[in-house]
Structure 1
């Protein structure tokens, strides 16, 4: 990041601090951690003075039947032993009464401070107190004072970079002038030797007839019109240099020296050439020593600077696992495949973990997280850690203030630009809530629905309030009804029956009926199809519906309303992912069983799909 910022400034020193901040995002600490105040970074970028808040990392983990909090990263300059002692002292004075035991299990692999919590401890309050009372959250002062022309001066980050570039110019010029003088001196010697070789017989005669070295030098100077330095070089010359090969090499050396002097002169006289040299040397340093950022910078403190100015609004795919791990990957990592392929691994799964679902969004979108507690939280997509195909992501308990038994059951990544939020639960309940109820979410989330036993939110869409929707069940029943008659309810209501379910059935998904779109259906065994919306007749809510697909020992995994030019990502329980074009999926009747969309391994099954639209996500 530092090298990139220097290269950014190299030819245009008028760039602003905001411009630089897009490239050099802030400090990076060897002990990792999370930097939480972007305004502190902004302050010292502009003034040279400020303070950044850095937090260590911890996660909740069940060890046996005991809920523990594992600290695995601590802030820079914080001593681990001092941190543990501070926690023990707080236990003694009753400020961290939730703690039952603490032990240090750190090793060469890294830091691991295990805190066992009491049975009735409020984990959310405990974590907040831990950061507030201990050095797990600390500030790091920044004071950019440097000696400029022998005098101390407080510098902005831009001035630091600018001073360094000016210094590089000075160093490269001095070095070039030094090398230029050496090359000229050596060329002078070589030209003297060349003159001596051209009059070799006269040179040998002078040397033989001279009484001593001084007389030989004086006579050579007169003969060849050279100085003492050159004549000394001739007198010191080995006889082996007289062979034809050495004479040719001498001419080549002179040519090389002249070319080298020409290049050095160009660096000294032409500024653009000088900047090219500085650029290439900086790139070499980057190649040799550049490494990836260790400290994560959260974009929570956004009052001082706009997020849009700092990050690219790339399209991304969000992976969520059954055990509550989440990660963000660029869509460009996954290429389009033919229908019926085996797919590629999309993420690494922990032991006994499996994929829960996938979702499309972009870095600057706010994501809504719905949990089995009936609560909703929000988080900027960019704050979800980015991971490659061989990573499993981050525990959601670190990113959201979830209770220990609370898990995310549904994610909404679309636009919030209509009148209502429409929710459908596993047990077939549907609820319409005015969007104003969730526009200003608290950090700790809000209760959005009162759930029955073993029920949770499975699918959410934003609606105007008068659309037709098509809902599907696990056993392949589809119902279409208009939502205009469903009245909006308060946050504590349970909703009303959306679709009638048999004992062994459950709601799977729904989508909005739209002109120009068909219904894409995929089953657990990887078969899918498209059907026309008019295959499902419009009825009242609360009915069982009609069969929309023929099933043979499998069940419906997902449905989406799709257009011809869109793409679908299909994810399996084992983390295999395939990206296909909608137009490659055939249109069939509702009685057909579909065609092979993804070729599954034994015991694997389709868990979810995500639709990538060309115009909007």
Structure 2
């Protein structure tokens, strides 16, 4: 019995539970969660499939985004257009998708959070678009969709428009600027505006009409030469038909000439027209005569009558009136656009807008001669024209923009008339040079005014924001404060000097920005009103360019287009081969795929995010090469092959047991897979940390991954440091980050920042944080990581649908599910191809029978009454099927040729081989896996790329230097006043002995270099002070600087006390075999201590030696306990002794005497001998002299003696500055002077001499200059 109409009582709690559960599952399955097989949520799958159905593949032309969205809404996704468009936009964003599925053209948003352009842009039909055929109303560009016309785009670029769209009727908004320019379009129509970035720098951005507000600055094009029509406009279509059979036909021009344009301009300003005559009146006889001359040349047989008229009232002047009553000519002028209407309805003839520049010039010359006027005063000059027709002057404004002339349009309520005004010398001069007046009287007056017009700046024609930004960045500069540079004229005049000052003050070159503004000469005009318009027809065009913009009513307009990317086609591969199931769409009118075949593991490649009811998903993107390598490893290590993959017949209704049996399983562990998948690979780059947490995320499906921006510390020319951000954590909004840094600085929560700039452009991201001179760069950077999104967390929650049910998926499970999916797809594809091959085999077998029995077949067909009987007879006689006999009947006669017969046999053989291959493939699941593997390898080769995100094993703050720093040679310099820096050895070129050197450091007058030495970036560096304390740093922690920079104050790196100086420096590598640290003081005392006592040096340092009063620790070096050492004094004394003569003591001891010094003498060096036979001692003296001497020239003595001479010290040589041991690996000498000069010499150029000699000139000294330090570099450290 039917229950229709029966009311059943149901507990409301049960109904609410059931309804809520139904809703929750609908959201989970149909909206929020991706499918593990193709990695897509339903809306994304429908977009991709809709574009496939429309044929918008990566090899096709771009199609309008609105067309794609419309197709998705119409057939697959009955929701709002904005969510669908937003989903498509995300698939086209290179900062959202690791591998974009949509190839977008136009503005698809930015990492700053800028909105994408509208998917369709529409303006009203009367909007004038600049085309190769002139200024055309957009509604008249075409009457069909396909067009091929050139249009003008942003930055004076000429592009091609290929489509014209009548978008129907829509609500509109009407925007008006301060100068009177207007545009009307749909709410989502985008216009180019000029705004400011976070630092105040001018930047262009697109805004929809519904987003535009009063005060926004719109950008208008006023380029003068681009895209004018090249040929005169043809007028044959404007020829009138005779009114009656008796109407006399006159001679008419075939094209719109300058003479005819002059006539039109004169009549529009000073004439009138009716059905029967035209009239022209003016008091200037010169103007009248020019009109007559043009008329005679244009209408030679149309009589023009001239009358001289007396004044009709007091104050009037005698005037001339010209009349023509030739009706054929009058009708022609009416057809051209001189309508017989009242003054308020007058309009510029459309033919003028379609004419070359010279013709338009003639029209304007005549119009301004009639209705134009010049007025001047001490403060202002203006040229104006008037009309009672608002529409006429609205179009006149747009027309004048094509000459680079901007105007004001205003209503004069006192005279009840509209006027446009040309103001500013630039505009007046452009008018004079390009247009001018028709008669001498007005031109003379214009010339005189221009000659006496000194002021070159318009109050309202300037580049907004530029001067405020420059002055804010530069600070005090007398020239910049006193001189304007935001007007185009003043920017041309002062721009070079302003940019030079800006470069000097900030280190940034602003000249390209100045040149961009000067080159494009944009007009910037503020919005004064945004009003609701009527619902009316709107139109758009498709522009074939990356910028996708066009000029209309002077404004710059924009939209987006899209097509599938190349890799998206891999999602759809073989979809036509019954590889996946299809279901009815929401309306039952068509079908859509349940899942895509997807050759690529898209869920891992692009990740996913979504919030459902009671659950959410957050899956990071990965690198294609890594994921495919992991897939191949998984395939190669199966633990269970599928017992029975679903076939075409049973895949739509499989039991849970069949489903379980069809699953691929692997014995790969997550540790195995992480050999290949190092971690997420985000499209924005950056760095991720903590391999343990990454492992946990892959093992469980949930985890917390720390991301950091890529930020580097760079030194500027002025000696300051900048932090340069070039990559951001995934999903971090750059504009918000910059704003957050600025806010922290204003709130005094972030110290050390002097300036903040966003220098990002189309070449890449670059945010510059300029630091104060006393700032500690690493400290500022650490604070940025702590307090801003430069360090963020990606919370992994790998939830996806498996067989329609949400699951939390480990990495291995995702890979197994994808392989299972590919097994099903390959099997179904193979079954489809097998079915097709068998059908083709069947047909070919019939054709072979026919060609083998051709005569009998032909005879049978000839004897048959019709095709049906022939088919029946063939089936009966040759035992053919209906399909085979039909194929024989359809066969062309040329197939009977011998060569064609062979082709049939060859094709039959090939098809049978294919059938055998496919049957074998379907019988062996392991071979299907090999096909999957081979296809993945091809995908890897085609689309694979390098990883963008760096992966560090340690947690944040637990790095080893090996993870971060390259181990390379570097040179460290320390000055007397405690400034330290490191730099690449390659920054100094090799010079000959006796050179002056190059500037090696910028020091203050009272400062000089104290230490200079070579080391490696991963070495530990120990700093010993004059108070006997020792501190430790990593060499890479010393900021790298330029050759001439003075470096950073060492007190910013180690905690020395006020007045405490670094006197000795030692670098130690991790695997250094040294057993002791051997020390020597300036007064010649020595000691050695086990190196283990310095293994853990606190931040505040350790006591390294007890010093006698007035003594200072000068040298420290690692020793083995069996070495020989040489001490050299500045007076030339030296001693060689055995290390074993000195017993080891603890850190806080004072040591014993090493050398007995003369009065006023002090030690300058301590050296360790490595090879007694080949080692040489290099001695460098204050006046630039030096030499080498074999250490074999020193006899070994007991410690504490006076020793022997190391060099002959004289006033010519000056005292010994240093002595360095040169081993056979040493090849380069670096010396530096108290003036900051530095020289780099080949050591072989330094001669080997006896101990008692004074040496040769190594570096020439200027007056007051002397050598202060020198060091040697060994060949293993030499820069390539």
Query: 2:693 maps to which residue?
Result: 40
Q: Distance in 2 between matches of 1:499 and 1:227?
A: 119
Give 3-state SS (helix, strand or coil) of 1:376's partner: strand
Pick from 373, 376, 385: which aligns with 2:1032? 376
Cα distance, 1:55–1:263 mapped onto 2, change above 3 Å: same
1:104 Cα deviation from its structure 2 partner: 2.2
Check conservation: 1:471, 1:499, Cα contact below 8 A. Answer: no
Moved more, 20-29 or 266-275: 266-275
> In the alignment, which residue of structure 1 is the partner of 2:636?
11
Question: Structure 1 residue 320: deviation in Å?
Answer: 3.7
Answer yes or no: is 1:318 the counterpart of 2:931. no
After TM superposition, list the pairs within 5 Å mapping 1:331-346 onto structure 2: none
Q: 2:680 is matched with which residue?
A: 27
Alpha carbons of 1:413 and 1:211: their partners in 2 closer, same or farther (altered >3 Å)?
farther
Task: Give the equivalent residue in structure 2 for 1:148.
Answer: 802
Deviation string for 1:428-462 (max 9, x for gaps)?
999866454565688x8977979x9xx9999976x
Whether the 8 Å contact between 1:356 and 1:608 is mirrored in structure 2 is no
Map 1:200-599 to 2 at 5 A.
Answer: 200-301=854-955, 318-320=968-970, 324=982, 368=1020, 375-377=1031-1033, 412-415=1068-1071, 420=1076, 434-436=1090-1092, 465-468=1120-1123, 481-482=1138-1139, 485=1142, 487=1144, 490=1147
Q: Which residue of 1 aligns with 2:747?
A: 93
Residue 128 in 1 paired to residue 772 in 2? no
User: Is 2:824 aligned against 1:174?
Assistant: no
Q: 2:763 aligns with which of 93, 96, 109?
A: 109
Per-residue deviation, residues 368-401 of structure 1 (Å, max 9, x unmatched): 455799643469x9x9xxxxxxxxxxxx99xxx9
Taking structure 1 as the reference length, the TM-score comes to 0.64
Pick closer, same or farther for the CA change 1:268–1:424 going to 2, 3 Å. farther
Q: What SS does structure 1 have at the residue aligned with 2:1275?
A: strand
Native 8 Å contact 1:433 1:490 kept in 2: yes
Secondary structure at the aligned position of 1:10 is classed as helix
List per-residue Cα deviations over 1:288-340 (Å, max 9, x = no partner): 11111121122323999x99xxx9xxxx963446774789xxxxxxxxxxxxx
Q: Does 1:183 align with 2:837?
A: yes
Instruction: Say whether the 8 Å CA contact 1:71–1:112 is kept in structure 2.
Output: yes
How far the C-alpha of 1:139 sits from its partner, in A, is 1.0
1:63 and 1:272, CA in 2 relative to 1: closer, same or farther beyond 3 A?
Answer: same
Give yes or no for contact 2:702–2:797 (8 Å, CA) kept in 1: yes
Determine the C-alpha separation between the residues in 2 that align with 1:9 and 1:143: 22
**Does residue 2 in structure 1 map to residue 627 in structure 2?**
yes
Question: 1:231 deviation in Å?
Answer: 1.4
**How far 1:237 sits from its partner (Å)?**
0.9
Partners in 2 of 1:150 and 1:252 — Cα distance? 47
Please state whether the residue corresponding to 2:713 is helix, strand or coil.
strand
Contact 2:689/2:706 (CA < 8 Å) preserved in 1?
Answer: yes
- What is the alpha-carbon distance in structure 2 between the residues aligned to residue 125 and residue 59 of structure 1? 11
Which deviates more, 167-176 or 56-65? Answer: 56-65
CA distance in 1, matches of 2:712, 2:851: 78
Instruction: Give 1:358 deviation, angstroms.
Output: 7.7
Give the structure with higher Rg (CA): 2
Supply the distance in 2 between the matched residues of 1:133 and 1:240 (Cα, whole angstroms): 81
Q: What secondary structure sits across from 2:770 in the alignment?
A: strand
Going from structure 1 to structure 2, the CA distance change for 1:303 and 1:77 (only over 3 Å counts) comes to closer
C-alpha separation in 2, matches of 1:182 and 1:163? 28
| 3-state secondary structure, aligned to 1:610 | helix
Q: Is the 8 A contact 1:357 1:609 kept in 2?
A: no
- Quote the offset at 1:533 in angstroms: 11
Asked whether 1:118 is paired with 2:743, we answer no
Deviation at 1:483, TM superposition (A): 5.5
Classify 1:80/1:509 alpha carbon distance in 2 versus 1 (closer, same or farther; 3 Å). farther
Q: State the alpha-carbon separation in 2 of the partners of residues 217 and 478 from structure 1.
A: 119
Distance in 2 between residues matched to 1:212 and 1:609, nearest whole Å: 98
In the alignment, structure 1 residue 83 sits paired with structure 2 residue 733: no
Change in Cα spacing, 1:359 to 1:122, as seen in structure 2 (3 Å) is closer
For 1:149-193, what per-residue CA distance to the aligned partner results, in whole angstroms no more than 9, with x for missing partners? Answer: 111111111222222222222222222222222122212211211
Q: Judging changes above 3 Å, is the alpha-carbon distance between structure 1 residues 226 and 440 closer, same or farther for their aligned structure 2 residues?
A: farther
Whether 1:50 aligns to 2:703 is yes
Larger RCO: 1 or 2 (CA < 8 Å, sep 6+): 1
Is the 1:459–1:509 contact (alpha carbons within 8 Å) kept by the matching residues of 2?
A: no
In the alignment, structure 1 segments of 5+ residues that lack a partner are 328-350, 361-365, 384-395, 524-531, 548-554, 562-567, 574-589, 593-604, 612-617
Q: Would you say the 8 A contact 2:706–2:791 is kept in 1?
A: yes
Q: Distance between the aligned counterparts of 1:101 and 1:111, measured in 2?
A: 17
Q: 2:911 and 2:691 mapped to 1: Cα distance? A: 53
For 2:755 and 2:843, the matched residues in 1 are separated by 80
Q: Once the 2 structures are TM-superposed, how far is the Cα of residue 232 of structure 1 from its aligned partner?
A: 1.4
The corresponding residue for 1:387 is: none
* Equivalent residues of 1:472, 1:507 under 8 A apart: yes
Residue 59 of structure 1: how far off its partner (Å): 1.2
Tell me, in whole angstroms, the C-alpha distance in 2 between the residues paired with 1:492 and 1:73.
52
CA distance in 2, matches of 1:425, 1:9: 66
Given the superposition, is the C-alpha separation of residues 487 and 273 from structure 1 closer, same or farther in structure 2, using an over 3 Å criterion? Answer: same
Q: How far is the alpha carbon of 1:86 from its aligned partner? A: 0.9
Measured in 1, the distance between the counterparts of 2:1177 and 2:944 equals 45
**What's the offset of the Cα at 1:194?**
0.8
Is the partner of 1:218 in helix, strand or coil? helix
* Superimposed CA distance per residue, residues 224-272 of structure 1 (whole angstroms, 9 cap, x where no aligned partner): 3221111111111111111111111222112222222222233222234
Asked if 2 retains the 8 angstrom alpha-carbon contact of 1:479 and 1:546, the reply is no
Aligned partner of residue 845 in structure 2, secondary structure = helix
Query: Matched residue of 1:187: which SS?
Result: helix
CA contact (8 A) 1:53 1:137 kept: yes
Q: Which whole-Å CA distance do the structure 2 matches of 1:211 and 1:375 have between them?
A: 112
The verdict on how the C-alpha distance between 1:521 and 1:512 changes in structure 2, with shifts beyond 3 A counting, is closer
1:608 aligns with 2:1274: yes
Distance 1:456-1:299 versus aligned 2 partners, 3 A rule: farther
Where do 1:65-84 residues align within 5 Å?
Answer: 65-84=719-738
2: CA distance between counterparts of 1:214 and 1:572?
Answer: 103
CA contact (8 A) 1:479 1:499 kept: no
2:715 aligned with 1:61, yes or no?
yes
Residue of 159, 172, 176 corresponding to 2:813: 159
- Go from structure 1 to structure 2 and tell me whether the alpha carbon gap of 1:232 and 1:102 turns closer, same or farther (over 3 Å shift): same
Secondary structure of 2:932's match? Answer: helix
Aligned-pair CA distance for 1:92: 2.2
Q: Secondary structure at the match of 1:52?
A: strand
